[in-house]
């Protein structure tokens, strides 16, 4: 057969996120998030786009449901916008905002696709940001309140939840180096934002479980870290980067303790009981994986950063160039490293995996063979990890459809489905049909 076959049955999914697909930023009382501020600030988004209309899923969600069902997905991963539900990040629910997600959930269930929402995919309400955002411990409590509003309305039909998406990217890109909203440049002073997001995950998990949720977990971005050279200086760089990108976010959830941060001269603002909450066993551990990261010892005498990120030697690249090397074996390595590093780990989910390549803005049909080969390689990498002992129970393609790629605007396309960003017209690509065959083949 020409499609990859897994050694055992897993669930198949595809993902999107609210701000990246919904458009309709002012509809039905939606409040403003740090991403609204970001897209309205000159020079923050490469093509000056504002995420509107984009795929316009706020109006076209029935098409998304039909596309998800057409693939034969077991589950669809979408995110809920905090500011549609609770426009100012405090107080009661905006029922018009919740109505939207309620319709989407009903549509998915009618189509036989299990809804698997993410409660937070980066769209922090502006007032919560102004009160300190993720630098403030109180934001975790705000998030738990918002979670209660959502589960109160959807919890009769939604049983599986991702709490927070990629806290590592929010800490590193959002607060440490300012490449994504809210655009703070705090370097190591950004570390408390990791703890507060993990605390938010812990508090929200408790809220969800007591409302009858069956499976709750966080979706973390992880990378497989490699040293450029086999020497002590580069190994130290590897260690440092592995802690900052992977272990700060995985260790407390999976072991109930942070890695030693003394080398960075930092300590997390942990209070009594925090680590019990954060380390309460999740029902799954979800990994967003895109590429490995190669590091070397830092150059420059008083460089505050203990590593330099360099291109991965010999790797082909995606539409992002050298920043995004294509190395499917790195996914096998990552899943096996986790299995070994965290004995007793809950089942693993690959909650995002995919790639963008240059594609036309308008298209009757996109023959995206490069995406097919990327996904084929990574699904085979998952198969090898399962053979090697990793307990992977679900795989998710990022993304169901082309969408707003954050600071890269509409210049990067990750979809199985092409979207004309002027008309929101959707056209399945070759990879859509291929993924449908992968799912079908693995069900037999």
The two structure tokens encoding residue 355: 């790639």
The owner of tokens 């959707």 is 426
Which residue among 249, 398, 421, 434 contacts ligand GCO (CB under 6 A)? 398
Please tell me whether residue 169 binds ligand GCO under the rule CB under 6 A: yes
From the list 6, 10, 14, 17, which residue makes contact with ligand GCO (rule: CB under 6 A)?
17
Give the SS3 label for residue 17: coil
| Number of amino acids touching ligand GCO (CB under 6 A) | 10
Strand duo 392-398 + 11-15: pairing:
parallel
Rounded Cα distance between 358 and 136, Å, is 39
By CB under 6 A, tell whether 165 contacts ligand GCO: yes
Q: Euclidean distance between the first and final Cα of the chain, in Å?
A: 12
Site for ligand GCO in 272-331 (CB under 6 A): 288
Minimum Å gap between C-beta 76 and ligand GCO is 15
When binding is defined by CB under 6 A, the residue of 22, 64, 74, 166 that contacts ligand GCO is: 166
Sorted by sequence, the CB contacts under 8 Å of residue 47 that are 6+ apart come out as 408, 409, 410, 411
Q: How far is the CB of 346 from ligand GCO (least distance, A)?
A: 20
Do the annotations mark residue 288 as ligand-binding? no
Taking CB under 6 A as the binding criterion, the range among 161-169, 189-197, 261-269, 388-396 that sits at the site for ligand GCO is 161-169
Enumerate residues 6+ apart whose C-beta is below 8 A from 147. 119, 163, 203, 204, 207, 208
Phi then psi dihedrals of residue 426, to 5 deg:
-105, 135
> Of 17 and 416, which has the nearer Cβ to ligand GCO?
17
The CA distance from 333 to 292, in Å, is 10
- Least CB distance from residue 15 to ligand GCO, whole Å? 7
User: Which of 36, 74, 251, 352 forms a contact with ligand GCO (CB under 6 A)?
Assistant: 352
- Interstrand relation of 293-296 and 308-310 (parallel, antiparallel or unpaired): antiparallel
DSSP code per residue over 80-93:
--HHHHSTTSSSS-
Q: Is 20 known to sit in a ligand binding site?
A: yes
Compute the least distance from the CB of residue 283 to ligand GCO, in Å: 20
* Interface stretch with ligand GCO, choices 162-170, 205-213, 366-374, 382-390 (CB under 6 A): 162-170
- Which residues are annotated as catalytic? 166, 352
Among 194, 173, 193, 293, which Cα is nearest to 253's? 194
Nearest distance, CB of residue 352 and ligand GCO, angstroms = 5
Comparison of 78 and 398: residue with beta carbon closer to ligand GCO: 398
| CB distance 149 to 211 below 8 Å | no
Does 405 engage in binding with ligand GCO (CB under 6 A)? yes
Per CB under 6 A, residues contacting ligand GCO are 17, 20, 165-166, 169, 288, 352, 398, 405, 414
Annotated binding-site residues read 20, 121, 165, 290, 398, 405-406
């Amino acid at each position: 057969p020409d499609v990859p076959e897994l050694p055992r049955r897993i669930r198949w999914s595809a993902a999107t996120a609210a701000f990246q697909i919904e458009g309709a930023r002012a509809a039905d009382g939606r409040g403003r998030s740090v991403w609204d501020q970001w897209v309205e600030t000159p020079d923050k988004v490469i093509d000056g786009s504002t995420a509107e209309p984009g795929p316009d899923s706020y109006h076209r969600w029935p098409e998304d449901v039909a596309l998800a069902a057409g693939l034969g997905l077991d589950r669809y991963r979408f995110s809920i916008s905090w500011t549609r539900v609770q426009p100012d990040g405090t107080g009661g629910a905006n029922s018009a905002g919740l109505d939207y997600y309620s319709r989407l959930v009903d549509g998915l269930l009618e189509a036989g696709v299990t809804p698997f929402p993410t409660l937070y995919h980066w769209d922090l309400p502006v007032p919560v940001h102004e009160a300190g955002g993720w630098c403030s411990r109180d934001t975790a409590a705000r998030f738990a309140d918002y979670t209660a509003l959502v589960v109160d309305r959807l919890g009769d039909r939604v049983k599986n939840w991702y709490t927070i998406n990629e806290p590592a990217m929010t800490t590193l890109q959002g607060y440490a180096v300012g490449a994504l909203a809210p655009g703070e440049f705090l370097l190591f002073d950004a570390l408390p934002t990791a703890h507060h997001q993990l605390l938010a995950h812990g508090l929200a998990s408790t809220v969800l479980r007591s409302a009858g949720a069956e499976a709750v977990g966080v979706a973390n971005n992880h990378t497989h870290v490699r040293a450029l050279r086999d020497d002590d200086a580069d190994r130290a760089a590897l260690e440092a980067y592995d802690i900052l990108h992977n272990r700060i976010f995985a260790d407390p959830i999976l072991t109930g303790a942070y890695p030693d941060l003394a080398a960075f001269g930092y300590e997390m603002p942990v209070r009594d009981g925090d680590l019990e909450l954060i380390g309460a066993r999740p029902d799954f551990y979800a990994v967003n994986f895109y590429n490995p990261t190669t590091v070397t010892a830092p150059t420059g005498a008083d460089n505050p950063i203990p590593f330099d990120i360099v291109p991965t030697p010999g790797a082909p690249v995606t539409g992002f160039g050298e920043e995004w090397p294509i190395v499917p074996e790195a996914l096998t390595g990552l899943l096996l490293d986790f299995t070994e590093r965290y004995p007793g780990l809950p089942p693993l989910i690959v909650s995002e995996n995919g790639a963008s390549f240059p594609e036309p803005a308008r298209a009757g049909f996109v023959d995206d063979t490069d995406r097919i080969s990327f996904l084929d390689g990574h699904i085979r990498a998952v198969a090898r990890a399962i053979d090697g002992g990793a307990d992977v129970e679900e795989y998710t393609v990022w993304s169901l459809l082309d969408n707003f790629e954050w600071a890269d605007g509409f210049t990067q396309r990750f979809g199985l489905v092409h979207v004309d960003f002027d008309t929101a017209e959707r056209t399945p690509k070759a990879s859509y049909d291929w993924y449908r065959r992968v799912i079908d083949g693995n069900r037999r």
